[in-house]
Amino acid sequence: MATAQQEPALPERQPLLGDRPDSEAGTAIDAERGTFTRNLGTVEAFAIVISIVIGSGVFTSPGSIDTNVPSPGTALLVWLVGGVLAWTGASTLAELGTAIPGEGGVQPYLKYMFGDVFGFLAAWTWIVAVMPATLAILSIVFIESIYSAAGVVGQESNIVHKLLSVGILVLISLANSISTKASTRLNNFFVLTKFITIAAVVLVAFSAVAIHIFFSGNEEQDDPLDWYRKPWFGYRDSLNPDGSITHWEDLSSWETLGHLSAALYGALWAYSGWDKAIYISAELSAPAKQLPLAINTSIPTIILCFIAANASYYILLPWRIVSTTDSVAVTAITHFLGPAFGTVAAVLICLVVAGSLLGNSFVAGRMAVAAANMNWFPRLFSVVGRVGVRPVESDDDTSSGGDAKEPQSDAPINAIILSSIISALYILLGSFRVLLTFNGLGEYTFFFLTVLGAIVLRYREPSLDRPYKPSVLLPVVFALVSGFVVIRGAIFAPSQAVILLGLWALGLVFYSARRWFQGRT
| Cα 363 to the center of its chain, rounded Å | 11
Give per-residue pLDDT as tens, 144-170.
777 766 666 666 667 888 899 899 888
Contact 169, 139 (CB under 8 A): yes
Whether the per-residue pLDDT at 412 is higher than 80: the answer is no
Query: What's the confidence (pLDDT) of residue 483?
Result: 87
Contact 469, 95 (CB under 8 A): yes
**Top-confidence residue, 495 or 39:** 495
Residues forming a β-bridge with 246: 238
Give per-residue pLDDT as tens, 297-330.
888 989 999 999 999 999 988 888 888 776 788 7
Query: What's the confidence (pLDDT) of residue 30?
Result: 40
**Top-confidence residue, 518 or 267:** 267
Give per-residue pLDDT as tens, 452-471.
999 999 988 888 888 888 88
Contact 72, 253 (CB under 8 A): no
Length of the chain: 521
361-385 exposure pattern, b = at least 16 Cβ within 10 A, e = fewer: bbbbbbbbbbbbebebbeeebbbbb
**Top-confidence residue, 331 or 387:** 331
3-state secondary structure of 96: helix
- The alpha carbons of the chain give a radius of gyration, in whole angstroms, of 24
Rama region for 321: left / alpha / beta (φ>0; ψ in -120 to 50; rest): alpha
Give per-residue pLDDT as tens, 426-452.
898 877 778 877 888 888 899 899 999
Contact 169, 427 (CB under 8 A): yes
Whether the per-residue pLDDT at 184 is higher than 70: the answer is no
Q: Sorting pLDDT into bands at 50, 70 and 90, what band is 6? A: very low
User: Of the spans 121-130, 191-200, 280-289, 398-407, which averages the highest pLDDT?
Assistant: 121-130
pTM (global) more than 0.85:
no
Whether the per-residue pLDDT at 363 is higher than 90: the answer is no
For 235-238, the CB contacts below 8 A with 24+ separation are: 235/70, 235/71, 236/70, 236/71, 236/319, 238/66, 238/67, 238/68, 238/69, 238/70, 238/323
Whether the per-residue pLDDT at 9 is higher than 70: the answer is no
Query: What's the confidence (pLDDT) of residue 242?
Result: 67
Quote the CA–CA distance of 475 and 498 in Å, as a whole number: 28
Whether the per-residue pLDDT at 84 is higher than 60: the answer is yes
**Pairing outcome for strands 238-239 and 245-246:** antiparallel
Query: What's the confidence (pLDDT) of residue 79?
Result: 94
**Domain segments of the chain: what residues?**
36-388+407-520
For residue 384, give the nearest of 362, 403, 402 by alpha carbon: 362
Torsion 489-491-493-496 (CA) sign:
positive
Q: Sorting pLDDT into bands at 50, 70 and 90, what band is 15? A: low
Torsions phi, psi of 246, nearest 5? -95, 120
Calculate mean pLDDT across residues 139-143. 84
For residue 49, give the nearest of 203, 263, 274 by alpha carbon: 274
Q: Sorting pLDDT into bands at 50, 70 and 90, what band is 36? A: very low
Whether the per-residue pLDDT at 11 is higher than 70: the answer is no
Give per-residue pLDDT as tens, 85-102.
888 888 888 888 778 866
Report percent pLDDT > 70 for the chain.
76
Query: What's the confidence (pLDDT) of residue 408?
Result: 58
Report percent pLDDT > 90 for the chain.
9
Query: What's the confidence (pLDDT) of residue 131?
Result: 86
**Top-confidence residue, 45 or 247:** 247
Query: What's the confidence (pLDDT) of residue 282?
Result: 55
Average pLDDT, the chain: 77
Contact 187, 160 (CB under 8 A): no
Measure the N-to-C terminal CA separation of the chain; round to a whole number of Å: 40
Calculate mean pLDDT across residues 487-506. 87
For 465, other C-beta atoms within 10 Å of its C-beta total 12
**CATH code of the region 36-388+407-520:** 1.20.1740.10
**Top-confidence residue, 432 or 480:** 480
